[in-house]
Amino acid sequence: MTSATQKPNPTLWQPKNLARAVEAAGLGLWSWNVDTDALTMDDVAYDLWGLERGLEVNFEDLSAHIHPADRDRVRAAFQATRALLGAYDIDFRIMARDEVRWISARGQGDDHGIVERVMFGIFVDATGRKQAEESRELLAGEMSHRVKNLLAIATGLTAITSRSTSTVNDMARELTQRLTALGRAHDLVRPVPGQSGAAAALLGDLLTVLLAPYDDLGAFSGRIRVSVPRMSVGETSTSTLALIVHELATNSLKYGALSVDTGTLDVSCSAQDEAVTIVWTERGGPPVQRPTGNPGYGSKLVERSVTGALRGSISYDWDKAGAVITLKLHPDRLAQ
């Protein structure tokens, strides 16, 4: 440990050591002549921007590589730095060849440290940090949506149970069973670290667990009927498919066939080489109307899960007799 009176090692400030530290930190150095608009950058900065090293550039040339959605904001911010007191830090996206990157530009405003009308600063690749921030925001939104869904499901299950029981004790017992089944189904929505094996579940078993909380008599024997071939669903796809089924069942419980005691749900499946097709058919519920306006978070979540994680497609038929939802999934992806 360095004592309070010990002098710093003078070799730390040698140019070659400073250069090594800058390189290790991934910092791109730049200078900007505020009169001529000329920019000078080191090799790291050129690489960050995806430009040929040594190419003569000015601020307008560099601006052409800024993402169109950020370009005006960055231009205004750089001009404003001349009057900004203290340090500044701005994040923006750039188009580096075929790749979108986040760059953080940092320096001193108010002409602080300016030498012969030249300002100095650094560029930092902020792509990893921005992706992490976006992932946290997405996770927070998804968790909020799931909590709201679970509260809506609990309310709907309470209403279903009250219609099928005649005493308080019976209602308490059946509601507890339904909520316990809901908990088991909810566990399938999240991946379990350390799981191994090519197949996490059989499709029929998976749908049984997921839909059991919504059926008055239990899946397969009541108003929810499932007819699927014997096939395996992989570990990763189990969580994704569980999330999709949860979302569809929640919507049905709120607005569709499962919202009334006369409604029925049929889930069928056919498997071919090019696609696994799952058809979700609701009947006997309230009259169906095509949704208007922008899709909600749940609809976007389902769309992203189907098209992204499962490499499939989803289509909706808003038949007056009840919604028919068709999922076409890639069989190889479903097995993962």
- Domains of the chain (ranges plus CATH)? 15-125 (3.30.450.20), 131-334 (3.30.565.10)
Look at phi and psi of residue 37 and say left if phi exceeds 0, alpha if psi is from -120 to 50, else beta.
Answer: left
| pLDDT per residue of the chain (336 residues) written in tens, 0 to 9 | 455 556 666 665 566 666 666 666 667 888 778 778 788 888 888 888 888 888 888 877 888 888 888 888 887 777 766 666 667 778 888 888 778 888 888 876 656 556 667 777 888 888 888 878 877 877 777 677 667 766 776 776 677 667 656 788 877 876 776 677 666 656 665 544 444 444 467 888 888 888 887 776 444 457 888 888 888 888 778 777 877 887 888 788 888 898 887 889 999 998 887 888 999 999 988 888 887 777 776 677 788 888 887 888 999 998 888 999 999 998 888 887
Give the side-chain half-sphere CA count within 13 A for 202: 9
Give the predicted TM-score (pTM) of the model.
0.50
**What are the Cα distances from residue 66, in Å, to 42, 50, 73, 152, 196?**
18, 12, 10, 44, 44
